[in-house]
A and B are shown apart, each in its own frame.
Chain A
Amino acid sequence: MVEHSDVVCPFCGCLCDDLELTVEGGEITGVKNACAISRSKFMNHGENRLRLAIDGKEASLEGAIEEAAGILGDAKRPLVYGLSSTDCGAIGRAVELAEVLGGVVDNTSSVCHGPTILALQQVGESKTTLGEVKNRADLVVFWGSNPTESHLRHLIRYSAMPKGMYVPEGRKGRHIVAVDVRETRMKRVADEFVKVDQGGDFELLLALRAAVRGVKIKAESVSGVPRERIMELARRMKGAKMGIVFFGLGLTQSEGRHMNIDAAVGLVSELNHHTKFLLTPMRGHYNVAGANSVTTWQTGYPYAVDFARGYPRYNPGEYTSVDLLAKGEADAAIIIASDPAATFPAEAVRHLAKIPVVTLDQKVTPTTMLSRVTIPVATAGVEAEGTAYRMDGVALRMSKVVEPEEGMLSDEAVLEAIIERVRALKGEVG
Chain B
Amino acid sequence: MPKIDVTIISGRTAEQGAGLEEGKTSERYAQSTSLIELSPADAEALGIDEGGTVKVTTPHGVVVVHSKRSEGLEEGLAFFPYGPWANQVFGASTYGTGMPLYKGVEAEIEPSGEDVPSLEDIVDGFRSGS
Interface on A for B, CB 8 Å cutoff?
A: 11-12, 35-37, 39-41, 44-45, 47-48, 110-111, 114-115, 118, 146, 148-150, 152, 181-184, 187, 195, 198-199, 249-250, 252-255, 257-258, 284, 303-304, 316-318, 320-323, 325-326, 339, 341-350, 352-354, 363-366, 369-370
Contact = CB atoms under 8 A, between A and B. Distances in A.
B12 A342 contact: no
Contacts, number: 191
Contact of B98 (A198, A254, A317): A317
B71 interface: yes
Given A40-B17, A317-B95, A345-B90, 4 more contacts: A11-B17, A36-B14, A37-B17, A115-B99
Interface of B: 7, 9-14, 17-19, 21-26, 60-61, 70-74, 77, 79, 82-84, 87-88, 90-104, 119-120, 122-123, 125-127, 129
A136 B73 CA distance: 34
Contacts of A35: 14
A327 to B, nearest CB: 9
Interface of B is mostly: loop
Given A36-B14, A352-B126, A364-B25, A342 B100 contact: no
Contact of A353 (B60, B73, B96, B129): B129
Contacts of B122: 366
Nearest to B123: A369
A62 to B, nearest CB: 27
Contacts of B87: 342-346, 349
Given A341-B84, A342-B83, A364-B25, A317 B13 contact: no
The CB with the most chain B CB atoms within 10 A, among A182, A198, A363, is that of A182
Contacts of B24: 48, 339, 342, 363-366
Contact of A345 (B72, B91, B123): B91
20 contacts: A11-B21, A44-B22, A48-B23, A110-B98, A111-B102, A149-B12, A150-B11, A198-B9, A249-B103, A320-B97, A322-B94, A322-B99, A326-B93, A339-B24, A345-B91, A349-B126, A350-B126, A363-B23, A365-B23, A369-B123
Contacts of A303: 98
